[in-house]
Amino acid sequence: MKILKAWICILSVKCQTEEILEAPPNPSTTVFPDTKAPNATVEIHLNETSVGQIPFLPSVTESQSSTSTVSSFITDLITNNETSLEAETMDISVTMAPTTKVIGVNSTDFPDTAVLEKILNATGTNLTDLLDLNLTEVISGLSINETLETTTFEPTTTTTTTTTTTIYRNCEEHPEEEHPCSFQKRGGGAVVADCSIKQLKQIPCDVGNVTRLVLGNNYIKNIYLGEFDNLENLKEIELDNNGVEFIGKMAFRNMQKLEKLSIKQSHIATIRNDFHYGLESLSHITYNFGGIQNIESGAFNGLNNLKELYMKENEIRSLPENLFASTPNLIGIDIQMNQISSFENSTFLNLKTMTHLLLGDNLIEEIPEYSFRDLGSLQELYLQNNRLKNITRLNLIGLESIKKIYLQGNNIQSISLDAFEGMNNLEVLDLSANNFTILHGEWFLPKLRIFKISGNHWDCGCDASSFKYKLEDASFRKRFEMITDDPMLNCTIPEQMKGQIFNNMEIEKFPPEGKECKAPSSVWGNSPIRVNRKSNLELKCEITDGFPIPLYNWTTPSKGSFITNGNILQVNNTKDNDAGQYGCRAINIAGVATQFFSVTISYECGKYDELGNIIALDEDCSEESGSTGDDSYGQANTSATAVRINMFLFIYMLISILL
């Protein structure tokens, strides 16, 4: 049974006065001021939603009252559209000011069609739906209890009361032989009415004394006050996949025994704070896969027996403060896959029995400090696939009983050393697919058996020293490699350590506790070095500072690059291709320093000018000049070379003279 509820308030009746009324008018007649300044309007409210204001177009008469006019208007409105009406007590009142001339006003010429359209729009109904209901019962009379108070005021003072009428749309009746629902008795006196997939647009009547009502996969868009009034024994109701758009205030008022309410795939935008009025026994709520965007503070007030709340895959954007303050027996909340970007540090207060909190796949950027301080019984916390950046102890404080924490798929860049302090029951910790770079031995709590850390970027620099020394403990290393999904820790930073395996790095590369890292310092410039062919070249890298002691990576023009344990590079029996640029890179986990050398290879018996150009041969050159071959080879080689050079110099000088 659908119920249309409208409040019709006569507002804004204002006039100038010169004389004070001394006695109230006849209670059967509502009075208005002089029609020369009427300014009277009627405002229509439906389910607390303003439909609009209708102007009074008064014609002066002393025989008709506005009471009869309002009554006639409502009756005509309902009668013309074949909608059932059940009248409640209506308190009618008028805003009045003292006046010199009291006359009646007859309100006529109302735009009935336009008003009806506004009412239907406000309730999510349309005229076609109403006509399809085949409701022909019309109650033409309204019971109106008129109250009018008048007293003596100053000329600027007014008296205000309100007018309220409740309109009901009854449930859809069916002949017994054509009833859309099937009924089944179960053990313990339970009776199930299955009304699913019946193309219903309203809650059907005559479902009897059932304990479970299934209304899934129909077209029930709106639910109004009174539609469940005859279902006092109902314990479960399912309204899934109806596209429910509107639930009226106190629609469930007489369902004190209802334990489970399921409205999946709805189009409800807001869970109002009057949504669950009268559902004192409710223990399970399911609003999954809908369009809910907002939850009003107090939406779950009075639900002291609520144990499980499911609001997965909606469009919820935030969670207000003290949202669950009146639901102390909640044990599980699933609000995953919404658009929640924030919640308050009081949102989860008073949930001392809750064991499961699912907030994954949202847009949460920060956990307010002390948010979980009342969740001492929580065992599983899901915060995966959000936008968290930092985790500290104050973000998670209060989770003494926690067993599983899922934080994978965030953008976590730092986790404090004491973030998980006191969680001695923690068994599963998933930190995979984030952006933090450092592990701490303090995270390996006594009962931890699954520790997922893959998909992060490991820092093998100075900040990793503490964990590196922790891995030197053989028993700890064995446990670490057993419970983690990335035991080798491939280094990604600093650049000089990229590609190394953290577990395999020598402990000497890391400073012991109490000592600080220091990067080596570069030597600027390019040091020139000249050596003869077939001699020995020795280069000394002057970068000797830095802690831990750096390794030296040399680059050469002919032999590529290689690492030396010390800061000296030696090249024996030099050749022409050993000439060129040499580089020394001193590397430790704190940084990199460089020094460069420019090496020239000279002829064994050549004479050179200050620019390094050969100008002559040393005739006195002997085999000791650098030859490593036998005496005859070295001397013959030297003589032949001298002849060639002298010939070259003679030709060069001759050409210069001729030119």
- List pLDDT tens digits, range 633-655: 233 344 455 555 666 666 766 77
| For residue 154, pLDDT beyond 50 | no
Contact 405, 427 (CB under 8 A): no
C-alpha angle 530/535/538, rounded to 5°? 60
- Give residue 410's pLDDT: 98
Task: Please state, in angstroms and rounded to a whole number, the distance separating the CA atoms of residues 305 and 307.
Answer: 6
Q: Which of 66-75, 513-522, 618-627, 630-639 has the lowest mean pLDDT?
A: 630-639
Q: Is 103 helix (H, G, I), strand (E, B) or coil?
A: strand
Q: Which two tokens stand for residue 229?
A: 């009034």
Q: Which two tokens stand for residue 304?
A: 């002291």
**Which band of pLDDT confidence, cut at 50, 70 and 90, is reported for residue 170?**
low
Type of residue numbered 582 = Y
Question: Residue 236: how many CB atoms within 10 A of its CB?
Answer: 18
CA distance 645 to 383: 81
Total Cβ atoms within 10 A of residue 423: 21
DSSP E strand boundaries for 57-118? 58-60, 90-92, 103-107
Phi, psi of 430 (to 5 degrees): -110, 110
Q: Where is average pLDDT lowest: 27-41, 45-59, 299-313, 586-600?
A: 27-41
Q: What pLDDT is stored for residue 561 in this prediction? A: 86
Cβ atoms of 406 and 383 within 8 Å: the answer is yes
- Could you report the per-residue pLDDT of 309-323, keeping only the tens digit for each? 999 999 999 999 999
Helix axes 112-123, 66-80, angle to 10 degrees: 70
Pairing of strands 390-391, 414-415: parallel
User: Does 36 score more than 50 pLDDT?
Assistant: no
Contact 359, 340 (CB under 8 A): yes
- Determine how β-strand 580-588 pairs with β-strand 551-556: antiparallel
Per-residue pLDDT at 156: 39
Residue 164's pLDDT is 36
Percent of the chain at pLDDT above 90? 52
What fold characterizes domain 183-268? 3.80.10
Q: What is the mean pLDDT of residues 327-342?
A: 97
Question: Which CATH number fits the domain 526-602, given the four candidates 3.30.450.30, 3.40.50.1820, 2.80.10.50, 2.60.40.10?
Answer: 2.60.40.10
Query: Which residues are within 8 A (CB) of 524 and not within 5 positions of it... i.e. 6 or more apart?
Result: none
Q: In 3D, which of 297, 399, 312, 284 has the Cα closest to residue 352?
A: 399
Nearest to 501 by CA among 450, 556, 458: 458
Matching residue, tokens 């796949």: 361
The full set of domain ranges for the chain reads 5-166, 183-268, 365-510, 526-602, 620-659
Distance separating alpha carbons of residues 640 and 318, to the nearest angstrom: 92
Contact call for residues 67 and 30 (beta carbons, < 8 A): yes
Q: Choose the weakest-confidence range: 128-132, 154-158, 449-453, 555-559.
A: 154-158
- The whole-number average pLDDT for the span 434-445 is 96
Distance of CA 448 to the CA centre of its chain: 27
Angle at 649 between CA 644 and CA 651, to 5 degrees: 95
- Asked whether the domain spanning 526-602 has the same topology as the one spanning 365-510, the reply is no
Mean pLDDT computed over 543-547: 91
- Cα–Cα–Cα angle for 516, 519, 525, nearest 5°? 160
More confident residue, 527 or 401: 401
DSSP code at position 37: S
- Number of helices (H) and strands (E), helices first, in the chain? 7, 41
Which among 105, 107, 94 has a CA at the least distance from the CA of 24? 94
Burial 27-52 (b: 16+ CB within 10 A, else e): eebbbbbbeeebebebbbbbbebebe
| CATH 2.60.120.260 fits domain 365-510 | no
Mean residue pLDDT of the chain comes to 76
- The pLDDT of residue 209: 85
Evaluate if residue 98 carries a pLDDT over 90: no
Range scoring the smallest mean pLDDT among 153-162, 385-394, 537-546: 153-162
Q: Are strands 606-608 and 614-617 parallel, antiparallel or unpaired?
A: antiparallel
Res 231: pLDDT = 87
pLDDT higher than 50, residue 361 = yes
- What pLDDT does 610 receive? 59
- 139 pLDDT band (50/70/90 cuts)? very low
Q: Quote the tokens at residue 19.
A: 């004389």
User: Looking up tokens 């915060």, which residue turns up?
Assistant: 383
pLDDT of residue 244: 97
Say how far apart CA 111 and CA 127 lie, in whole Å.
Answer: 16
Pairing of strands 182-185, 191-194: antiparallel
User: How far apart are the C-alpha atoms of 167 and 3, rounded to whole Å?
Assistant: 6
Peptide bond into 528 cis (omega under 30): no
Residue 104 vs residue 578, higher pLDDT? 578
**Tokens, residue 510:** 């890391």
